[in-house]
Amino acid sequence: MATATPFQILQDIDQRCRDNSTGLPSGAQEEQDWIGIGFSLAGQRLIAKMSDVTEILPPPSTIRLPGVKTWVKGLANIRGNLMPILDMNNYLQGAISQSSKDNRILVINKDGVNAGLLVDEVFGLRRFKPEMIEQQNYAEANVLRPYLDGSFSDAQTKWDIFNVKKLVNHEQFLKVV
């Protein structure tokens, strides 16, 4: 019986591993799921696409800008970059957000608009099957109506889908002065 070299032993082990492996997951399942960030705004539970939110931060210190609408809280220095921080409750309802330990900033960068959106609370990642989207007829009185694209429901909560693209392309949102 011939003695195998260490290299041959390693080749044998490699071949047996390859023969007995099941392979890597295809990733197709993950791509099909709708993944978003759950948050609260204007008394409603919302979800934004994961790809629309680049970061979640506690509210930073801001420098007030003269001559802008009241919902523009000011500029913040986020890792050396100046970013406008926008009070979404004030933008939508005209009432300044109450400062809370639960407040968070959702950093967005969509269609050339890089900004931080001040929201009431962030609930983290949520995953849904795309076929679970429910189309909704939102009441005219709903201030979020122009920015919603249906909803998802899980065992406990209905999550309205907040469309960041609709927000950053809305005429009122672009007029900060």
Mean pLDDT value across residues 103-119 = 94
Residues 50-77: pLDDT tens digits?
Answer: 999 999 999 999 999 999 999 999 999 9
| pLDDT for residue 1 is more than 60 | no
Per-residue confidence (pLDDT) for residue 28, from 0 to 100: 54
State the pLDDT confidence band at 95, using cuts at 50, 70 and 90: confident
In which order are the strands placed within the sheet that holds 158-162? 121-128, 34-41, 44-49, 158-162, 148-153
Mean pLDDT value across residues 153-165 = 90
| pLDDT for residue 29 is more than 60 | no
CA angle at residue 47 from 138 to 127, to 5 degrees? 125
Nearest to 98 by CA among 121, 78, 80, 114: 121
Residues 73-84: pLDDT tens digits?
Answer: 999 999 898 999
Mean pLDDT value across residues 88-93 = 93
* pTM metric for this prediction: 0.78
State the pLDDT confidence band at 156, using cuts at 50, 70 and 90: confident
- Both tokens of residue 163? 């469309």
Domain boundaries, the chain: 34-174
Mean pLDDT value across residues 26-36 = 70
| pLDDT for residue 138 is more than 80 | no
For 34-174, which CATH superfamily applies? Answer: CheA-289, Domain 4 (2.40.50.180)
Answer for the pair 173, 165: CB distance below 8 angstroms, yes or no: no
State the pLDDT confidence band at 23, using cuts at 50, 70 and 90: low
